[in-house]
Structure 1
Amino acid sequence: MNKKLLLICALISIAAAVGYYFSKGPERISVTQYKVAQGEVKASIANTRVGTVKACRRAYLAPAIGGNVAQLYVKEGDKVKSQQLLLKVWNDDLTAQLILHKAQIKANQATAKQFCEIAAGTERDSQRLSRLKKYDRIISEEQLDRAATKARADRAQCQAAQVAIEIARAKLEIVNTDIERTLVRAPFDGTVAEINAELGEYVTPSPPGIPTLPPIDLLDISCLYVSAPIDEVDAPQVKVGMSACVSLDAFAKKRCSGTVSRIAPYVLEKEKQARTVEVEVKLSDAKDLQELLPGYSADIEVLLASKEKALRVPTEAVLENNQVLLITADGVLEQRQFKPGLANWNFIEVLSGLKEGDALVLSVGREGVEPGAYVRVEE
């Protein structure tokens, strides 16, 4: 009797446990959700490797001829004007030649004046003899011919002296040009970024194929742009004039006053299987240019198209082949495919396959989140 009672109690306990399990229902996975809604979607293209902030004008300046630095007229950080003198190489020998040629010009001018005065006198003598010959037969043809010949010779000597002045002036100009080659002037308004020369140090232009540090590095930081590589597959979609945003590691805020100003006319091959086209973006808003410095790393995002009110889903909720996990009314996950439209890193436009208000799983990477799973939505 006791055995039968114990068996009945055991069966009752098992039945109670089974009933409790089924009344509780299957175990549910905690997930976060997103309800399909309308919003702005922008289709954009970003660079594949990091870009760089560059100055619109940058000049690596060196004297046209080598020599020892005699004067440095600026220091790093100085703002300079166009044609301002920045550096001078020793040119005392050329300065001495300049003085010599100026003195030579004065001497030639005096000589020319002397010869031209003589020529004018002999010409007057020749003319007087020619007039007297008409009334006085004592003057012979030979005398008249000698006077005319001497007048022409003196005039030629006068002309030669004047040409000598021009030659001396040309030589003076050559020396002036040589002196100018020893000077370094600013080709535009800018800021001295770096000086790689000291007084007395020998500087020279870079020989072909042998890069050397320039004595002066000049930047025009009033105009900046970002140069970044775009993958060759995406490059055909980019056009000059398209709007673009610039992101910098040094600043949190994105700067979106950019415009595509240039697209390189060739494909750059720096690494195998990685071919890119260099794209330049210029910022137009003065606020966006504040605190920017040439050399900052930067990324660009070129806007191809946009819709203000598009049915959209977060990019992080989308699986392969444009599929999402739909949360049914019973809390069961159902796999659903949709037709995409515009897309970027944040959102993808839904053309068909989903409707506004559909609940999607946002945390698709959690363990156990798969079609058919029971889920519980986190608050």
Structure 2
Amino acid sequence: MSDLKGELASLRIDRDRAGPRLRRWPLFLFVPMILALGALYALRARQAFSAPEVDTVRASVVRSNEAAAGTPILTASGYVVARRKAVVSAKIQGRLSDLRVEEGSRVRQGEVIARLESGDYEAQVQRARAALQRAEADLAESNRQLDLARRLTGEKIMSLDQLQTAESRARVGEAAVSQARADLAFAVASLANTVIRAPFTGTVVKKMAEVGESVAPIPPGVNISTSSGAIVALADLDTLEVEADVSESNVAKLSADQPAEVTVEAFPDRRYKAVLRQVIPTADRTKATVQVKVTILDKDAQLKPEMSAKVTFVEAARPAAAAEPASPVVVVPKEAVATRDGKPVVFEVLGNKVRSRAVVPAGERQGQVVLREGLAGSEMLVARPPDSLKDGDAVRVKG
């Protein structure tokens, strides 16, 4: 009986010893799960902190039928120049004996600017006058002999051949007088060329010679910096305008008499009213630009030739009858538009990632880009996106 109890006791389950073993196996499953979640969180945190930090701007919707009058269309850089200008030189070579102007001198058309040494030319004039007097005396003697020959021939005293000889001498004398008069006129003109006069009313912008220096005629088309032998550079400051280079892709935006505003680097706060005068009918293929000339309407004494200038072309005022009901358009700040593969795009912020969206610009308005397609308006966009930013990249928004 005792053996039977012992065997039954050996078959009894010891719950105090098996319980701890059964409770350990969930712990072995839970610990790897915690470690995996921790690793995933660390990876996500690392990616979040390594993402670039960006500023953001928002697209907006405005209502307008067209750009309003005065709205900037495009901006071009150039220089202030005088439409009427000249590099003044002498018509003959000589040494400068008198110079009556300085930089900034105001001269009138025909006013004497300078003189060359003229002693040789004055002597040539006197010599030409003496030659004319001799030719006139020879002609008078030839005419006297001709009259005598005609009378004697009529009395049958002189032969007809002798009369013809007298007539020939008279004609030679007339030719000699004509040549002497031409020589005198040439000498007088050469003497007059020693006096240099202003070709038009203007201001001396550069003096290029001093008294005692030799000057000479210069070929047409030279500029102020390379005009060796010239005397002064003259400009009519009442004809100041701006010559600017416009990109070939923007020339179509301009029309005749397009209004504009001009600023110069010397005093950027001063704005001048201007109007497009001419679009040069040829392009510069090395720069892919077209030169335009803009007339300044309210110029003042502060403007100087060769100043660096910036021209902003603006929309012209439209008649009230031409107004149409306004339609909404989407605008975004210029700093939000980037270029990828030669096409304009913006980067929309969605959570902690960006989405690249292609857009179609339709011009600019007061520092913002008008979009024809691509956005609905109100999207949050990356401002000044880095060149390395691409679709799907993670970002951190500042602030």
TM-score past 0.5 threshold: yes
Residue aligning to 1:246: 262
Structure 2: 5+ residue runs without aligned partners? 1-53, 339-343, 386-392
- Write the letter of the residue equivalent to 1:293: K
Report the 3-state secondary structure (helix = DSSP H, G, I; strand = E; otherwise coil) of the residue aligned with 1:197. Answer: coil
What is the aligned counterpart of 1:168 among 177, 180, 187?
180
Change (3 A) 1:254 1:230: same
Query: Corresponding residue for 1:112?
Result: 139
Question: 1:48-67 to 2 correspondence within 5 Å?
Answer: 50-67=77-94
What CA deviation, in whole Å up to 9, does each residue of 1:175-203 have, x standing for no partner? Answer: 23433443323222221112222222333
2:163 corresponds in structure 1 to 151
| 1:113-128 pair list within 5 angstroms | 113-127=140-154
Contact kept? 2:86, 2:235, Cα under 8 Å: yes
Asked if the contact 1:43/1:305 (under 8 Å) is kept, the reply is: no
Structure 2 letter corresponding to 1:311: V
Give the drift of 1:54: 0.7
Whether 1:102 aligns to 2:129 is yes
Match of 1:267 among 257, 281, 284: 284
Q: 2:116 aligns with which of 85, 89, 99?
A: 89
Map 1:191-206 → 2, pairs under 5 A: 191-205=203-217
- Mapped to 1, the partners of 2:179 and 2:91 lie a distance apart of 25
User: Aligned residue pairs: how many?
Assistant: 318
Q: Distance in 1 between matches of 2:119 and 2:187?
A: 12
Aligned residue in 1 for 2:303: 292
AA paired with 2:78? G
Distance in 2 between the 1:92 and 1:168 partners? Answer: 21
* Separation in 1, partners of 2:112, 2:219: 24
Q: Pick closer, same or farther for the CA change 1:267–1:365 going to 2, 3 Å.
A: closer
State the alpha-carbon separation in 2 of the partners of residues 333 and 351 from structure 1.
25
Q: CA deviation at 1:124?
A: 3.1
Partner residue, 1:347: 368
Alpha carbons of 1:30 and 1:177: their partners in 2 closer, same or farther (altered >3 Å)?
closer
Which of 295, 313, 335 matches 1:283? 295
3-state SS in 2 of match to 1:124: helix
Q: 1:159 to 1:84 in 2, by over 3 A?
A: same
Mapping of residues 10-21 of structure 1, within 5 Å: none
Gaps of 5+ in 1: 1-28, 130-142, 270-274
TM-fit CA distance, 1:354 = 5.8
Superposed CA deviations along residues 265-298 of structure 1, whole A, max 9, x for unmatched, are: 24253xxxxx23341222252x146632111101
Q: AA paired with 1:44?
A: I
- What is the CA–CA distance in structure 2 between the aligned matches of 1:114 and 1:336, rounded to whole Å? 105
CA distance in 2, matches of 1:362, 1:288: 43
Question: What do you get for the CA RMSD once the two structures are aligned?
Answer: 4.2
SS in 1 for 2:147: helix
1:74, distance to aligned residue in structure 2 (A) = 2.7
Shift of 1:352: 5.4
Q: TM-score, normalised by structure 2?
A: 0.64
Q: Corresponding residue for 1:10?
A: none
Contact preservation (8 Å) 1:325, 1:371: no
SS at match of 2:87: strand
Report the Cα offset of residue 95 of structure 1: 0.7
